[in-house]
Amino acid sequence: MKRFHIALAVANLDESIADYSRRLGQQPSAVVPGQYAMWRTDLLNFSINEKPEQAGQLRHVGFEGDSIKGYSSSVDVNGLEWELFSAAEQDARIVSAYGIPVVR
């Protein structure tokens, strides 16, 4: 399976979790209080970081895929970062960056 990945900066993590959970029809797969949340739907890997000074800005896009090995990133002709990773690799990067996330 391959999921499109979108990462956004938000002003308030808790308010954004409530809003995006309603929009996506499910609770996040992982939450790091005050910092990060991530949803995995059938088609989308969506993550948010609390960065009030950048609220509403697209941080990066990419793909999560079962057959992708490791992690890579590149920048497209417009300066947008694209990431490629497996679910296991993203989970490991979350733990490395934030400690073990709260799973809801």
Instruction: Tokens for 50, please give them.
Output: 């609390």
What is the CATH number that goes with domain 2-98? 3.10.180.10
Predicted pLDDT at 102: 65
Residue 98 scores a pLDDT above 70: yes
Instruction: Tokens for 58, please give them.
Output: 């697209």
Nearest alpha-carbon partner for 37 in 64, 14, 60: 14
Predicted pLDDT at 104: 58
pLDDT digits (tens, 9 = 90+) for 7-65: 999 999 999 999 999 999 999 999 999 999 999 999 999 999 999 999 999 999 999 99
Q: What is the pTM of this model?
A: 0.89
Q: Domain boundaries in the chain?
A: 2-98
Strands (E), the chain: 2-10, 30-32, 36-40, 44-50, 58-65, 71-75, 81-85
